[in-house]
Amino acid sequence: MADLSYGPLLYDLPGIIGGGITGLASAYYLSQIIPYAKITIYDARPRLGGWLSSKGVDVDDGTVLFEAGPRTLRPLGNGILASRLIHELGLEEDTIFTKSSSPAATNRFIYYPDHLVRVPSPAPGVTVFDILYTLFTEPAFKGLWWRGVAEGFVHPRDATVEDESIGSFISRRMGKDAVNRVASALMHGIYAGDIWKLSAKSLFEAPWRFEAEEGSVSEGVLKTMIEGREMTTRERTFAEMMRAPYPYTPSFKENMKHANVFTLKGGLGQLSDALVEKLRRNPNISFRTNTAVSALQPVPNDASAMTVTIPTAEPSSEPLSVNHTHIISTISPSKLSSILSTTDELRADFSPLAQIPSVSVMTVNLYFHTPNLHPPGFGYLIPLATPITQNPEMALGVVFDTAYAPHHSMADAEFGHHVGPAQDTVSKRGTKITVMLGGHYWDGWPVYPSKDEGIQMARSLVERHLGITEAPVAAAANLQSECIPQYTVGHEARIRRTHEALKRRYKGRLRVAGNWARGVGVNDCLRSAWDLVRELREEGGTGLEAVVEEKKWVRIKRVKKKRVERDDGEKEEK
């Protein structure tokens, strides 16, 4: 993969700010393409890996693994980069696959108004009658079916509207109840965000385009079903590259094909830990942890270098300055804008960046001895409309960790829902769940609940919602500060202005990657690092091209799949 056409003088001393998954992946991809580059990774914290963090906790019959941040990855789309990374880091054997046919993949719940409701979708054992019964009898969906049918007749938005919230978009087309009772739950599960603030243009791209181009979302969906879906030429090129032969072990490839999500025996923290280990073995890569960068400036009279300023521990001594040929910033938009804003002019240029907010999430892990304390499924999300008496903790949702990470491989092998090792070493199956608190509900709070308060809140929530009265044998709370950037209304315009300012000011020497421009997930972070490194040679790049470039859409024709019988007798689509 090494590409020696990169001029040594231009690229030999890169600096990466931020040692989370995006920073680590950027260093990894960079070291593959430009092996002679001497890379320095800066992180303000003592620990690398950002909010990928997994910890084994001792209980009386073994250990259980608690995830403080993201816990599973999807294999499709940008997920291919994660599966390649797993292969390249030698972690194939440690991968746990949750099959697409498992309840974790097919059963999703919302809690409204005072009970769990399975979101109607096809699944083994679920009949059309079951789906219709839920749609017509559950208060969550009351009146929504006819709004769904009528959506095709609602006038499209005025062509002058440049952006609006997802809440406003759905409410115009299907009514407020669809937003507050159902769609808000989904926005909690992905962005921990407020549907009335998140941008439809940035986060609801297909429905937003369908309305403008086809007149309604239903028309767009129908056209996609008949003619095939559209994708950008950038995504098509990526998909074609990822289709090239790749040396996975055959069983890993096969398991990935049937997986809905995957994780690792040591949790997703194992991915960042293994990446750190690999990078540490490379003599050209050095880490500066506990090192907060306080300013980032071009070197005066030198168009090919950037200076990183680091305050020293001694308040009386001068801060340290380190020069780099270019910088990759993977820190949050607010932190980046603060280290760039060394003058009033720069502050003005980067004010759009400073306006990208982030939310904080408290994840509370609970482990109970008794198994099956929740219904089979991925977990549940709590929509905005759930009465406060049912959710005084203002929780966003609850993940049933047992569903994707079995405690005991033998027990789950019986059900056939998972392939791979077990995360937990306990001798008897218990129940492991994570309660997610905070997000947009905590916007503007001067102080957040303490860890102990978080655990108490999580316990009272699961007692009310799931009837779990027993004390957990292990519990942990983690406050993930400002962990999910919010793509609020006007986000794309803010990214555009940031792109222009970066290009004008730094001419390609400062580029950005991370979860704040084109997706908040781990897979999106890997993709942003991958694209940035591949496009490094392009003059004046910023890392934000995927958002700001003119998108060319191409239709991908539907290929009719054939159902064939495999050697093990199961049917599969080819």
Ligand X SMILES: C=Cc1c2[nH]c(c1C)Cc1[nH]c(c(CCC(=O)O)c1C)Cc1[nH]c(c(C)c1CCC(=O)O)Cc1[nH]c(c(C)c1C=C)C2
- Counting every residue written for the chain, the total comes to 574
If one asks whether residue 85 binds ligand X (CB under 6 A), the answer comes out as no
If one asks whether residue 537 binds ligand X (CB under 6 A), the answer comes out as no
> Other C-beta atoms within 10 Å of 313: how many?
6
Whose Cβ is closer to ligand X: residue 33's or residue 123's?
Answer: 123
Helix (H) or strand (E) holding 157: none
With 0-12 / 13-18 / 19 or more C-beta atoms within 10 angstroms meaning exposed / middle / buried, residue 421 is middle
Binding residue for ligand X (CB under 6 A) from 110, 264, 276, 436? Answer: 436
Whose Cβ is closer to ligand X: residue 30's or residue 203's?
Answer: 203
Whose Cβ is closer to ligand X: residue 23's or residue 70's?
Answer: 70
Minimum CB separation from ligand X for residue 268, in Å? 8
Binding residue for ligand X (CB under 6 A) from 396, 501, 512, 513? Answer: 396
Taking phi over 0 as left and psi of -120 to 50 as alpha, with beta for the rest, 125 belongs to left
Binding residue for ligand X (CB under 6 A) from 72, 95, 171, 325? Answer: 72
Strand 326-329 versus strand 510-512 pairing type: parallel
How far, in Å, CA of 90 to CA of 97, rounded? Answer: 16
Size of residue set near ligand X by CB under 6 A: 21
Around 177, how many Cα atoms within 13 Å sit in the side-chain half-sphere? 12
Q: Where are the alpha helices (DSSP H) in 261-367?
A: 269-280, 333-340, 344-349, 351-354
Whose Cβ is closer to ligand X: residue 265's or residue 278's?
Answer: 265
Site for ligand X in 190-219 (CB under 6 A): 190, 192
If one asks whether residue 189 binds ligand X (CB under 6 A), the answer comes out as yes
Which region, judged by CB under 6 A, interacts with ligand X, from 65-73, 289-297, 458-466, 553-561?
Answer: 65-73
Helix (H) or strand (E) holding 111: strand 108-111
If one asks whether residue 24 binds ligand X (CB under 6 A), the answer comes out as no
Whose Cβ is closer to ligand X: residue 397's or residue 406's?
Answer: 397
Minimum CB separation from ligand X for residue 130, in Å? 23
Whose Cβ is closer to ligand X: residue 76's or residue 348's?
Answer: 76
DSSP state letters, 491-536? HHHHHHHHHHHHHHHHTTSEEE-STTTS-SSHHHHHHHHHHHHHTT
Binding residue for ligand X (CB under 6 A) from 203, 275, 381, 419? Answer: 381
Which region, judged by CB under 6 A, interacts with ligand X, from 70-78, 173-181, 286-294, 333-341?
Answer: 70-78
How far, in Å, CA of 258 to CA of 101, rounded? Answer: 8
Binding residue for ligand X (CB under 6 A) from 38, 45, 55, 74? Answer: 74
If one asks whether residue 256 binds ligand X (CB under 6 A), the answer comes out as no
Which region, judged by CB under 6 A, interacts with ligand X, from 69-77, 172-180, 286-294, 563-571?
Answer: 69-77
Whose Cβ is closer to ligand X: residue 70's or residue 266's?
Answer: 70
DSSP state letters, 352-417? HHHT--EEEEEEEEEEESSS--S-SSSEEE--TTS-TTT-TT-EEEEEEGGGTS-S-HHHHHHHT-
Minimum CB separation from ligand X for residue 399, in Å? 5
DSSP 490: T
DSSP 309: E
Whose Cβ is closer to ligand X: residue 275's or residue 399's?
Answer: 399
Q: Which of 536, 366, 333, 350 is nearest to 451 (CA)?
A: 366
Residues interacting with ligand X, by CB under 6 A? 69-72, 74, 188-190, 192, 361, 363, 379, 381, 396-399, 436, 439, 520-521
